[in-house]
Structure 1
Amino acid sequence: MEEKRSVSVVIPNYNGRYLLEENLPSVFEALTVAEVSFEVIVVDDASTDESVAFLETTFPQVVLLQNERNRGFSPTINRGIMAATKDLVLALNSDVKLTPNYFLPLFKYFTKKDTFGVMGRILDLDGEKVQDVAKYPQQKPTGKIKSTIDFVLDPMPKNYWLPSLYLSGANALVDREKIQELGGFDEIYAPFYVEDVDLSVRAWRLGWPCYYEHEAVCHHPESVTIANYHKKRKIYVISARNKLIMHALHLQGVSKVIWNLKVFVDFMIYWLALNFRFYEAFFLFLRRFKQLQQSKKRMKQLLKKYNRKESINTIIERMRQEIEAYNVVKLDI
């Protein structure tokens, strides 16, 4: 199969004028080095700074879409994804700086027609600290999908395509037709967190693998875009709510029963610990019940369309067994 070689870069932005000024030049440089047909789409999420004016005057070649009100990550990036026209879509955070050769090791993954996407290695701005690599597939006996374990192989095999449980939403290069088929990131997770895990899990369930490429490098400061604009309590509550949503969407059978029992036990533990943030997260989860049913229905329709019946439990275990044939190094990031 011929490589897919045209790229739509989609960047969601909220009050990130200085980030755009800092990082957009690296995007255009990487695209130029890649020698591909491309478009850069920035979706502004009702910024109150000078982001829009800056883009209009400094980067007129950017396709600029503007939300009338602030909507959060998923609805904002989805608007750009659905407007994309090239073979591949790079979902890119505004605080990520690409290296000049970023795209070059990635195109080969799309010679396989079932590939959903691939992510590169994310380092800090100095290139000294690893922030994101491949995500180890693990499911706890409680049914919990563990998505926070970073890993690499040592040595990294030259001709092995390393699967990753999910692709970071900060730098995921994906097949445009597939991500549009999925409807982009599920907006049930708005305003932020877990949506990239869910997107990749949906892709895996449809038989579309996700990969990690160690030689594709980009740079990223530590949690700039969310931590700068939201309080720690809100971040905790939204993250906990979204983890409840993801497990409700994707667990089946015995795993789902065990997970529900775990949530019940957590209720007791957090009550004794006087941790009422969990209760806030749970009741926010209940308020998304109607959206949850709609998301389940859409996923069920896609599974039927592509004749897929494999559970996420089975997918995770198969992926884990494949990876464990190599020397796995789990990183403490």
Structure 2
Amino acid sequence: MKKSLSVIIPNFNGKTLLEEYLPHTLTALENAGVISEIIVVDDASTDESVSFLGKHYPTVRVIQNPVNKGFSYSCNRGIYAARHELLFFLNTDVKLTPDYFDKQWKYFEKEDTFGVMGKILEMDSKKIEVAARALNHIGFKIKTNKLFYQEEKDGYIPTAFLSGANALIDAKKIRTLGGFDEIFSPYYSEDLDLGLRAWRVGWKCYYDHASSCYHRGSYTTKTQCKKNWVKQIYFRNRFMVHAIHLESHYLPFWFVQVLFFEVIPKLLLGQHWYLKSYISFLRQIKAINNSKQRLTFLMKRRNSNVSVFDIQKKVVGELAKKNIIWL
């Protein structure tokens, strides 16, 4: 059964990307044959994104952030402005295929479906860039680098989380979770955190291999200073995911593991940005604890006691019954 759909596109200086890929989004929506809308949340762009949309796509709803606030904040503005049953989060640099949504409606016939994503292919090589993800761990460190898929058309393949670049999500459920956690601003790991929260309150995330889209790639400035700053944010946010989702009795052991097997070795190698990342994480402890408490409250309200390690077991347990291809 098809449902109405709001497409939410966070944008920062993406005029050229909108010009190139927005027509493909409109085609996919037209082919889906559902009531829909497109919301572009502009994150204080300094290019001509807003004027371009007003001139060429007057039916697109544009929400403007007065200052640049990052991915989570922009998505959340779209979440609470959206009018429809399903929300589709789409990056500006992603090209949808004409039939992208065709195979995804069936997942929402299940009451416990949080969301579904399709496969992401590299724009030029056509290689699979993102598929379903399984969790694994080294000690108390959670890893999400195991990609897999199943070619059978009728399978329901679980994934540990949904990519924020192409996630189709139940609107009521994501609002129940409070949207994306803005402590991860400006970007990185907010989609991982969201998926883990969904699983932990008792919902499921799925991957559909028959749904394809193409990713153009990062526009990040390639200066060394910028690279180190981006890495600093990335690892800070990974630390925050662990602090939120590891159960309290595991956290002292995780802190020891991080300090002696990551922070100190990287300092000895002269990678001082890693220490800055760790210090930045420690400065967020109060906000992290607030996020952890909100999740704990919601889990209790829904009578759920799923741990992050339980998610790993649930996903792997489902895979044992299927013909899986690992990437």
TM (norm. structure 1) is 0.94
1:87 corresponds to: 85
2:19 corresponds to: 21
Query: Which residue, out of 143, 153, 156, partners 1:161?
Result: 156
Q: Deviations over 1:5-42 (max 9, x none)?
A: 11000000000000011111111110110100001000
2:195 corresponds to: 200
Identical amino acids, percent of aligned pairs: 44
Shift of 1:254: 5.1
Structure 1: gaps of 5 or more residues: none
2:50 corresponds to: 52
Contact 1:149 1:330 in 2 (8 A): yes
Alpha-carbon separation, structure 1, partners of 2:307 and 2:293: 16
1:290 aligns with 2:315: no
Stretch of structure 1 that moved more, 316-325 or 213-222? 316-325
Q: How does 1:135-214 map to 2 (within 5 A)?
A: 135-140=133-138, 142-153=139-150, 156-214=151-209
Cα-Cα RMSD: 1.6
Q: Is the partner of 1:231 in helix, strand or coil?
A: helix
Shift of 1:257: 3.5
Alpha-carbon separation, structure 2, partners of 1:255 and 1:327: 34
Q: Is the partner of 1:307 in helix, strand or coil?
A: coil
1:237 aligns with 2:232: yes
1:217 aligns with 2:225: no
Q: Is the partner of 1:43 in helix, strand or coil?
A: strand
Alpha-carbon separation, structure 1, partners of 2:111 and 2:70: 32
The residue identity in structure 2 corresponding to 1:16 is G
Q: Is the partner of 1:64 in helix, strand or coil?
A: strand
The residue identity in structure 2 corresponding to 1:249 is I
Contact 1:139 1:146 in 2 (8 A): yes
Shift of 1:228: 6.8
TM (norm. structure 2) is 0.95
Shift of 1:217: 0.6
Task: Give 4+ residue runs of structure 1 displaced > 6 Å after superposition.
Answer: none
1:308 aligns with 2:310: no
The residue identity in structure 1 corresponding to 2:81 is A
Shift of 1:272: 1.8
Shift of 1:132: 0.8
1:269 corresponds to: 265
Contact 1:101 1:216 in 2 (8 A): yes
Contact 2:8 2:78 in 1 (8 A): yes
Q: Is the partner of 1:116 in helix, strand or coil?
A: strand
Alpha-carbon separation, structure 1, partners of 2:134 and 2:6: 28
Query: Which residue, out of 312, 320, 324, partners 2:320?
Result: 324
Contact 1:4 1:88 in 2 (8 A): no
Shift of 1:105: 0.3
Query: Which residue, out of 121, 124, 129, partners 2:122?
Result: 124
Shift of 1:269: 1.3
Q: Deviations over 1:282-314 (max 9, x none)?
A: 111112122112211211121111111121112
Aligned residues: 325
Q: Describe the shift of the 1:228–1:92 C-alpha distance in structure 2 as closer, same or farther (beyond 3 A).
A: farther
1:32 corresponds to: 30
1:105 aligns with 2:103: yes
Shift of 1:4: 4.6
The residue identity in structure 2 corresponding to 1:68 is P
Alpha-carbon separation, structure 2, partners of 1:71 and 1:240: 19
Q: Is the partner of 2:113 in helix, strand or coil?
A: coil
Q: Is the partner of 1:247 in helix, strand or coil?
A: helix
2:71 corresponds to: 73
Alpha-carbon separation, structure 1, partners of 2:196 and 2:243: 13
Shift of 1:223: 2.1
Contact 1:41 1:63 in 2 (8 A): yes
